Each structure stands twice: as C-alpha cells, then as structure tokens.
Amino acid sequence: MHFNLRRQFKENRGLFLFVVLMIGFRSAIADWNTVPTGSMNPTIIEGDRILVDKLAYDVNIPLTQRSLRRLSDPARGDIVIFDSAAADKRLVKRVIGLPGDRIELRNNQLIINNKRAAYSHAQAVHDSLQVTESLGESRHRIQIDVFNPSPMSSFGPVSIPEGFYFVMGDNRDHSADSRYYGLIPRHEIVGKANKVIVSLDYDHYYLPRHDRLLLDLL
C-alpha cells in the first residue's frame, strides 16, 4: 500500500502540486464569491461572481484566518467579505462606520459623527429609488424601497469601539447587516471585493451578462 501511494504521488505530482497551490492561492491571496441575494443592489446583483482580494488587509496563514502581518485596515466605502459568527455565514457588505465613529440612520439618511451624508442623482427604478450616497471621498449608488421601507430605516445612534466596523448593504431596505447582526470584528473580515469576474442571469437560463464582465466595483 505504501509503495502504491508513493508511486501514485510520483506519477501525479504535477497535479498534486497544482491542487496545493490552488488551495493556498484561494485561501490566502485571492478567491471568488457567488452573490445569491440582492442585499447589495444596485452595486452587486444576483448572479455576480466577485473577485475577493485577500491581501487587501492582511497576510494570512493559508487555510486559516490567522494574520501573519496586517497590511492595512478597511476604509469607509470598502466592500468587504467577512465570515459572520452572528449570522453563521459569509456576507458581503459595505463599510460605513470605522472605529471611533458615531453612526445614526434617519429615514435612510446616514449621519456620521453628527454630519449628514450627501445624496444626489436620484433615479426611480420600478418601486425603488436609486441615489448616489457620498461619505467623504466615498461615492456609491444605494437603493431605497419607496413603498416598503425597512423597520431599520431609522437606527441608532451607535458608537463603534476599537477593532469593530459598522457595515450595511447598498439595498438599504432589504439587507441584514450591522443593524441586525451588530458590529463586525476586524478579525472576521477576510478580504475586499474589487471587481465582478462574471455575472450569470438567473432569469434567462444563466446566460452571462456581458455588460458586467470584469466590472469594477465602486
């Protein structure tokens, strides 16, 4: 048996090395995630496969979330992927509040450290309103349900301690985020989403959406 295993390894060591390198690459350098829900509409839509930069914030030991070296910290406006212990699953949300911030939401208008976010370029899309939200240098589109606002469309204020972040979905009335699950510990964040690799249209036989191929995320 030992001889057969050794022979199999010798005959297939190229494949074995490829598998090991691929696992290490996906666990510590870059990965892709499928987005099955619309909580990040209109930025990320159902069927998007997003590229996850796992070196955006930390150098981790492969197959673990143990950081060998901290490279940077999440910035306001970053789209982060994190393994939520509170939700018991991996989530994709946008960083809204940083350590030391005071966050408040009033009728879907953000107030950060007593300063209101700016909103512009409103556009009606079906029963929703899409607007550009400006949080300092971060500008991105959000979606608000005009006729069925979330009970959490007003929230807080809440102060964020060191080592934690406040995250929200861009689809503000249809997102389970820090308003429901609480603040996100820094160690749960596994990477940053920068780009859509490919997008499959669930309503049209999973055909690719060509206009979202390699689309940069803002």
**The Cα angle at residue 111 between residues 115 and 105, in degrees rounded to 5:** 165
Model pTM?
0.88
Reading the chain (218 residues) residue by residue, the pLDDT tens digits are 455 666 665 666 665 554 554 555 455 566 878 888 999 999 999 999 999 999 999 988 776 777 888 999 999 999 999 999 999 999 999 999 999 999 999 999 999 999 999 999 999 998 899 999 999 888 999 999 989 999 999 999 999 999 999 999 999 999 999 999 999 999 999 999 999 999 999 888 889 999 999 999 98
Please report the domains of the chain, with CATH numbers, ordered by start residue. Answer: 2-216 (2.10.109.10)
Strands (E), the chain: 30-34, 48-53, 58-60, 67-70, 79-84, 89-97, 102-106, 109-112, 115-116, 118-125, 128-135, 138-145, 155-159, 164-168, 184-185, 189-201, 207-208, 215-216
Q: Which residues are tagged catalytic?
A: 39, 93
